[in-house]
Amino acid sequence: MTTIGFIRHGQTAWNKEGRVQGSSNVPLNEEGIESAEKLANRLADQQWDMIFTSPMNRAKHTAELIASRMPDVSVEEDSRVRERSSGLIEGTTEQERVQKWGPGWRGLDMQFESADSVVARGLAFVEEQIRINPGKRILVVSHGSFIKRMIAVLLEDEQYAVTIENTSLTVIEVENKTCTLLNCTAHLTGGANGD
């Protein structure tokens, strides 16, 4: 059984300001680093075989902090698990979008990467892991929008399409479409360290 643990990167200044990041390369802020370190401590005693990360700095830094507590696990970048490109709205807040394009901006062509494109590359990544790393436990450090889409598609159930919190852990047994942990941030609240 191939198991994938999806992790959203730690917080950034843009997260805090409500700015769309998409493919913008925004670094972790101090709180993001601290939260990622707490997650790394939580995962240190668990058995994970490999870590893949989005090439974006916020995800890579999170992955590197996690790997620092797992001496036998390396980090590999894979562009298929990057965040969806948000086109013209990257770097903006909702208020700025309304000021610039009006309240109906969602109906305009903002040059987003299509949801189908995001799902296609995500599924290609997952299918490759099932094929070349069967039965392994794989961590994937990625982004909220990407993870939200992948969870719903892999479990074939839209009820799992929840807002994904920074440094949350979602664990899916891929072949039998079972979610054993969803959007868990127990490491931030002093809750249980296990999954």
pLDDT one-digit tens code per residue, 143-157: 999 999 999 999 999
pLDDT value at residue 163: 94
Q: What is the share, in percent, of the chain residues with pLDDT greater than 90? A: 93
Contact 115, 122 (CB under 8 A): no
∠ CA 144-155-59, nearest 5°, is 25
pLDDT value at residue 160: 87
CA distances in angstroms from 109 to 23, 24, 35, 102, listed in the order given: 17, 19, 36, 13
Specify whether 83 is catalytic: yes
The answer on pLDDT for 5 being more than 90 is yes
Selected catalytic residue, list 37, 61, 83, 187: 83
pLDDT value at residue 191: 63
What count of other Cβ atoms lies within 10 Å of the Cβ of residue 185?
17
The answer on pLDDT for 58 being more than 70 is yes
Specify whether 76 is catalytic: no
Phi/psi-derived region of residue 102, left when phi > 0, alpha when psi is between -120 and 50, beta in every other case:
left
The answer on pLDDT for 194 being more than 80 is no
In sequence order, what are the residues at sequence separation of 6 or more whose Cβ sits closer than 8 angstroms to the Cβ of residue 24?
A: 14, 90, 91
How far out from the chain centre does Cα 56 lie?
11
pLDDT value at residue 158: 87
Q: What's the mean pLDDT when you consider all of the chain?
A: 95
